[in-house]
Amino acid sequence: MPLIGLGTYSFPNDRNTTELAVHNALQMGYRHFDTAKIYGSEPAVGKALNEAICEGEVEREDIFLTSKLWGSDHHDPVSALKQTLENLGMEYLDMYLVHWPVKLKPWVNYPVPNEDDFEKLDLETTWAGMEKCLEMGLCRCIGLSNFSSKKIEALLDYASTTPAVNQVEMHPMWRQGRLRKTCGDHKIHVSAYSPLGGPGNAWGSTAVVHHPIIRSIAFKHRATPAQVALNWGLSKGSSVIVKSFNQERMKENIGSFDLRLDNEDMIEIEKLEEMKIMRGEFHVNETTSPYKTIEELWDDEI
């Protein structure tokens, strides 16, 4: 898995903008592209990648393509992945993730479910469907997203295939120490979404890139705050999924590989107050959700 990926969630979803961003990213050296059914970006990502492949700019084998199973498709991951592949114009995915540990009614194709949209969660059946996707050759790897340590441990009790990845929010102000240890113990790779704290997203924050400690470290190394945050994630052995369609920032993000944080920098970052930004409140309610509180969704890892 390439260590820096381009995230393709965008609101409003503009197909032309997404296609152009993928083309630009390929020219800059990006090879890891992250999408999802609920993002609405699969057709645009697939079109841009297939154009580049047909024009000989890149080989399919050099691309690492991730998409995700939405809650409304837990009843049939195989059919959902076949639809994703049709959207992308691809024969297989490199990684297919369970987007959230939440099952929704089959018609719920919007990101914030209503209270009556939830169904009883049966992750054992969902994971069996994910394993079927793998057996059928529809994807090369299967994994998770937004799963706590406790939920991973529970899944491992019945899983025939260990998840390859857990994609979660992770940045210098949400360091995921416990989760990284759990994943490390089971050889599950941690992939960081919102590694800059999600600036530019409606739910995101500029707290990470504006933090005085991050800015001070950036000044010391003649780097940018974004490069410091990304390099911190890379230094923890994680891949980082960065969503920016701005060409200068895309170049800046790739440049994070050139930075070398020292021990003093790492110690200073460990002192930062922690703050989870993507809390997932929209999956919590007291009547129909399996999670009555935010603490239950994250099993107190919040």
Tokens of 8: 């393709």
Helix, strand or coil, per DSSP, at residue 88? helix
Known binding residue 32? Answer is no
How deeply is 191 buried, as exposed, middle or buried, from its count of CB atoms within 10 A (0-12, 13-18, 19+)?
Answer: buried
Q: Which of 9, 30, 39, 193 is catalytic?
A: 39
Instruction: Give the gyration radius of the chain's Cα atoms.
Output: 19
DSSP state for residue 112 in the 8-state scheme: S
Q: From residue 293, how far is each of 84, 211, 297 by CA, in Å?
A: 32, 29, 7
Tokens of 295: 């603490």
Number of CB atoms found within 10 A of residue 295's CB = 12
Residues 6+ apart with CB under 8 A from 63: 31, 32, 33, 49, 53, 94
Closest CA to 258 of 228, 216, 217: 228
* Dihedral, 196, 198, 199, 202 alpha carbons, nearest 10: -170
Residues 6+ apart with CB under 8 A from 264: none
Residues 37, 39, 40, 45, CA torsion sign:
negative
Q: Is 96 a catalytic residue?
A: no
Enumerate the known binding-site residues.
Answer: 99
Enumerate the known binding-site residues for substrate.
Answer: 99
Active site residues: 39
